[in-house]
Amino acid sequence: MNDFFYIYIFMLAAFTGYEVISRVPVILHTPLMSGSNFVHGVVLVGAMYAMGHAVTPLEQALGFFAVFLGAANAAGGYVVTERMLGMFRREKKEPIQPIPTPEKVS
Amino acid sequence: MQWIIDISYFVVAALFILGLKAMSSPVTARKGINWAGVGMILATLVTFLTPGMRNYGLMLLAIILGGGVAWVLGKRVKMTDMPQMVAVYNGMGGGAAAAIAALEFARGEVTGAVVTTLAVLGALIGSVAFSGSIVAFLKLQGLMKKAWKVPGQNLFNGLLALITVLLGALIIASGPSTPVLLLFFLLALVLGVVLVAPIGGADMPVVISLLNAFTGLAVGFEGYVLHNPALIIAGIVVGASGILLTQLMAKAMNRAITGVIFTPITGEAQASAG
């Protein structure tokens, strides 16, 4: 593919990202942050590809590190988002609880 | 075989975008995360089919270890501790993007001005997101209680950022050499620490959201280096939506993003003021 073609993909993807979440209610800010954290876990795919072409021990170690971290991002991101959104299940007339924001630590 | 992979990545990109769209409404949010989850599984499975790959055993081990640990921790952690878990997993993604860049530099696959520039940018942003997210986790978990603040903080951070960017420019201009690369990665990691360390706990969700957007951008840039459209689209979509989300969150808290980063409210500062 022509290099310039990728610039178009970058631009269109940026507009898509902006547009897709532009009307998100405040209550969903944290779950959506978590959800998009899960989506960039697709870095796992890139890590697998890079590791699949590693030859020397150093390259293999870097690849292992990348795949390990990428898998953790994807799996952890899913579990955490799924649990947060589980709180939105509308049963038993329970009021929707906002996701707790962290305590002040400073 | 290649066409299966191409079509799958296309479907994956669509599932991610639809998933994020669904996640921005309370009625469809749970459907959204499941669509994105299906996309992730499809992307991972199909990548195993890529022709000419090696290290399958080690790769599988890394996926099982990393995914397994993260899955179990994510299930067990208390609901109130969720924000710092998001920070940790986000840091992992940033670290993975930086490690991909390091690996591609080691393989000597990074050639040409555009590819090198994006590899360097991805490495810088990914490293900052990695170390910054870990500091954010330590703070929210209460393991790092003291606000770390020195006089001339902004000047120091600015200088450090400038030196790191100059090193990156050196790599782009004169090609990667091991000592410069090592120093570059090291300074980028330190930069993430010093940027997040002075920020108070109340501002943390905004910072985590910003670091999340950073990781997205890093993933998108490394996707260009690897010529992988799924990474580019998912990464840039998350980068752009993450930046917007950060603005929305800061607005909901009545804070300006620049204020969060450059004039952090710390416990000590409040104590001395009041």
Average pLDDT over residues B115-142: 95
**Is 50 exceeded by the pLDDT of residue B270?**
no
- Tell me which chain B residue has its CA closest to the CA of residue A10: B236
pTM: 0.91
A65 at the B interface (CB within 8 A)?
yes
Average pLDDT, rounded, for chain A: 88
> Would you give the DSSP letter of residue B202?
G
- Tell me which chain B residue has its CA closest to the CA of residue A19: B241
| Whether the Cβ atoms of residue B26 and residue A96 lie closer than 8 Å to each other | yes
| Higher local confidence (pLDDT), A106 or B55 | B55
- To the nearest whole Å, the CA of A5 is away from the closest chain B CA by 11
| Whether the Cβ atoms of residue B122 and residue B101 lie closer than 8 Å to each other | yes
pLDDT band at B269 (very low <50, low <70, confident <90, very high): very low
pLDDT of residue A104: 59
Determine the angle formed by the axes of helices B204-226 and A3-20, rounding to 10 degrees: 150
A26 at the B interface (CB within 8 A)?
yes
Residue-wise pLDDT tens digits, B36-67: 999 999 999 999 999 999 999 999 999 999 99
Neighbours of B52 (CB within 10 A): 6
Burial-class residue B271 by CB neighbours within 10 Å (0-12, 13-18, 19+): exposed
The DSSP-derived string for A40-93 is GGGHHHHHHHHHTT--SHHHHHHHHHHHHHHHHHHHHHHHHHHHHHHTT---TT
Residue-wise pLDDT tens digits, B195-234: 999 888 788 999 999 999 999 999 999 999 999 999 999 9
Measured between alpha carbons, how far is A72 from B167 in angstroms, rounded to an integer?
Answer: 30
Burial-class residue A84 by CB neighbours within 10 Å (0-12, 13-18, 19+): buried
pLDDT band at B24 (very low <50, low <70, confident <90, very high): very high
Kindly list the residues from chain B whose CB atom is less than 8 angstroms away from the CB atom of residue A24.
24-25, 245, 248
- A88/B29 touch (CB, cutoff 8 Å), yes or no: yes
Residue B50, by phi and psi: left (phi above 0), alpha (psi -120 to 50) or beta?
beta
Say how many CB pairs under 8 Å bridge A and B: 382
Kindly list the residues from chain B whose CB atom is less than 8 angstroms away from the CB atom of residue A94.
none
Helix (H) or strand (E) holding B15: helix B2-23
- To the nearest whole Å, the CA of A2 is away from the closest chain B CA by 11
CA distance to A23, B25, B140, per residue, from B87 (Å): 24, 23, 9
Residue with tokens 């997040």: B196
pLDDT of residue B272: 37
**Is 70 exceeded by the pLDDT of residue B242?**
yes
Average pLDDT over residues A45-56: 97
| Whether the Cβ atoms of residue A81 and residue B33 lie closer than 8 Å to each other | yes
pLDDT of residue B259: 84
- To the nearest whole Å, the CA of A91 is away from the closest chain B CA by 13
Give the length of chain B: 274
pLDDT of residue A91: 55
**Is 60 exceeded by the pLDDT of residue A94?**
no
Tell me the residue ranges of DSSP E strands in chain A: none
* Nearest by Cα to A63 from A75, A40, A46, A79: A46
Structure tokens given for B170: 């050196």
Backbone angles phi, psi at A92, to 5 degrees: 50, 30
| Whether the Cβ atoms of residue B32 and residue A81 lie closer than 8 Å to each other | no
Measured between alpha carbons, how far is B273 from B60 in angstroms, rounded to an integer?
Answer: 54
Question: Across the interface, which of A35, A49, A63 has its CB nearest the CB of B47?
Answer: A49
Residue-wise pLDDT tens digits, B102-116: 999 999 989 889 999
- To the nearest whole Å, the CA of A93 is away from the closest chain B CA by 15
Measured between alpha carbons, how far is B258 from B203 in angstroms, rounded to an integer?
Answer: 12
Residue-wise pLDDT tens digits, B143-197: 887 766 777 888 999 999 999 999 999 999 998 899 999 999 999 999 999 999 9
**Is 80 exceeded by the pLDDT of residue B97?**
yes
| Whether the Cβ atoms of residue A52 and residue B50 lie closer than 8 Å to each other | yes
- To the nearest whole Å, the CA of B83 is away from the closest chain A CA by 7
- B20/A38 touch (CB, cutoff 8 Å), yes or no: no
Q: What ipTM did this prediction achieve?
A: 0.93
Give the residue from A15, A36, A60 with the most B CB atoms within 10 Å of its CB, the best one to mutate: A36
**Is 60 exceeded by the pLDDT of residue A106?**
no
pLDDT of residue B153: 85
- A96/B226 touch (CB, cutoff 8 Å), yes or no: no
pLDDT of residue B168: 96
Measured between alpha carbons, how far is B67 from A92 in angstroms, rounded to an integer?
Answer: 34
Burial-class residue B151 by CB neighbours within 10 Å (0-12, 13-18, 19+): exposed
